[in-house]
């Protein structure tokens, strides 16, 4: 009886058909959808920003025929193309430095564009807008408070404090420069009215940054200005900051107290007793003791 040929391979059970693997395809968003809503988004790759130059203020040149180009600046600030917007922001810097009278009528619009650009996840656009803010502070100073809606300035100040408080070093450093330009160009009294609310901000880094620039402003004030703003008001601002979690905030608070004392002691002969009496008369005892300890650390 003839045998059937046997395959060399061992018999196997038939395999179940495999399911097709799912492939997730990232959705590309339009540039206009990326930009301004969430400043906590991860930044875009650095290569995307490579075409933008960060031009120092001293290297910016005047605009040729600025009267004819102011309208094109307005149009450029509305651009959805982020590279074009960076170019327009640099033009706004040139207008602020060399043709500020032409920029003044649209200054509020420019400030709101800066706020929007600072929220953008593109590092190049964010940094360019901060640099523009510095030039605008230097060019306009207190006109920013007098010639624009206060809300525009408040939004700009908040964004600068937020950017100065983040971990991205080159953005943080640029925001610090811009805030320093603000302190140098705007008188302390109106600026303190804007900054004082941020010493109670929920973000401890924003509190610390606000404390630093309040301290810088107070250090510029003479005795009469300190009295006009209110010695007690300044001490009350410093009270909570003295116990803040960040050393930067605590050091700024001590500086504020010492500045207030410098203005106070010019009217007093027995400085130590007068300071202690003043603090106890205007602050809760525990806070008064803190104020005395800052000025006379060996006496409490």
Same domain, yes or no: 225 and 275 = yes
Same domain, yes or no: 217 and 276 = yes
Please say which residue of 186, 221, 240 terminates a domain. Answer: 186
Same domain, yes or no: 166 and 219 = no
Confirm whether 123 is domain-assigned. Answer: yes
pLDDT of res. 104: 94
Same domain, yes or no: 228 and 177 = no
Please say which residue of 133, 154, 186 terminates a domain. Answer: 186
Task: For residues 32 and 148, give the distance between their C-alpha atoms in angstroms, rounded to a whole number.
Answer: 27
Same domain, yes or no: 73 and 181 = yes
Task: For residues 292 and 277, give the distance between their C-alpha atoms in angstroms, rounded to a whole number.
Answer: 10
pLDDT of res. 11: 45
Same domain, yes or no: 74 and 181 = yes
Same domain, yes or no: 161 and 251 = no
- The label of the residue with tokens 């410093």 reads 238
Same domain, yes or no: 180 and 214 = no
CATH number for the domain harbouring residue 105: 1.25.10.10
Residues 190, 145 contacting (CB under 8 angstroms): yes
How many separate domains does the chain show? 2
Same domain, yes or no: 76 and 141 = yes
Confirm whether 79 is domain-assigned. Answer: yes
Please say which residue of 186, 202, 218 terminates a domain. Answer: 186
Same domain, yes or no: 214 and 140 = no
Same domain, yes or no: 139 and 233 = no
Tens-of-pLDDT digits for all 300 residues of the chain?
A: 444 444 444 444 445 544 444 444 343 443 333 333 344 444 444 444 556 789 999 999 999 999 999 999 999 999 999 999 999 999 999 999 999 999 999 999 999 999 999 999 999 999 999 999 999 999 999 889 887 777 899 999 999 999 999 988 999 999 999 999 999 999 999 999 999 999 999 999 999 999 999 999 999 999 999 999 999 999 999 998 999 999 999 999 999 999 999 989 876 678 999 999 999 999 999 999 999 999 999 765
Element of type H or E holding 214: helix 204-219
Confirm whether 205 is domain-assigned. Answer: no
Confirm whether 198 is domain-assigned. Answer: no
Chain mean position to CA 58: 23
The answer to whether the pTM exceeds 0.85 is: no
Residues 179, 219 contacting (CB under 8 angstroms): no
Confirm whether 140 is domain-assigned. Answer: yes
- The label of the residue with tokens 């600026």 reads 191
Confirm whether 230 is domain-assigned. Answer: yes
Domain residue limits at 253: 210-300
Confirm whether 168 is domain-assigned. Answer: yes
Task: For residues 206 and 214, give the distance between their C-alpha atoms in angstroms, rounded to a whole number.
Answer: 12
Task: For residues 44 and 170, give the distance between their C-alpha atoms in angstroms, rounded to a whole number.
Answer: 15
Same domain, yes or no: 279 and 237 = yes
- Phi and psi, residue 51, nearest 5°: -85, 0
Burial of 110 (0-12, 13-18, 19+ CB in 10 A): buried
Residues 192, 260 contacting (CB under 8 angstroms): no
pLDDT of res. 45: 47
């Amino acid at each position: 009886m003839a045998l059937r040929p046997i395959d060399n391979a061992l018999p196997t059970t038939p395999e179940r058909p495999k399911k097709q693997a799912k492939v997730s395809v990232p959705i590309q968003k339009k540039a206009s959808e990326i930009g301004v809503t969430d400043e906590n988004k991860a930044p875009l790759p650095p290569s995307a920003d490579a075409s933008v130059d960060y031009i120092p203020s001293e290297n910016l040149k005047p605009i040729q025929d600025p009267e004819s180009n102011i309208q094109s600046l307005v149009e450029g600030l509305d651009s959805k193309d982020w590279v074009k917007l960076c170019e327009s922001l640099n033009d706004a810097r040139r207008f602020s430095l060399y043709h500020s009278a032409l920029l003044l009528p649209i200054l509020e619009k420019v400030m709101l564009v800066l706020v929007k650009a600072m929220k953008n996840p593109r590092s190049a656009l964010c940094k360019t807008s901060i640099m523009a803010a510095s030039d605008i502070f230097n060019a306009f100073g207190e006109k920013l408070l007098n010639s624009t809606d206060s809300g525009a300035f408040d939004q700009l100040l908040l964004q600068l404090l937020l950017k100065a408080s983040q971990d991205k070093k080159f953005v943080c450093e640029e925001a610090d420069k811009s805030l320093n330009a603000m302190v140098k160009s705007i008188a302390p009294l109106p600026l303190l009215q804007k900054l004082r609310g941020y010493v109670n901000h929920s973000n401890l880094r924003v509190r610390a940054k606000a404390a630093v620039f309040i301290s810088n402003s107070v250090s510029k004030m003479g005795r009469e200005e300190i009295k006009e703003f209110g010695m007690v008001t300044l001490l009350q601002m410093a009270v909570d900051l003295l116990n803040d979690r960040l050393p930067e905030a605590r050091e700024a608070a001590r500086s504020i107290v010492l500045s207030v004392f410098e203005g106070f002691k010019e009217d007093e002969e027995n400085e130590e007793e007068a300071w202690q009496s003043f603090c106890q008369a205007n602050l809760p005892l525990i806070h008064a003791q803190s104020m005395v300890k800052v000025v006379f650390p060996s006496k409490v």
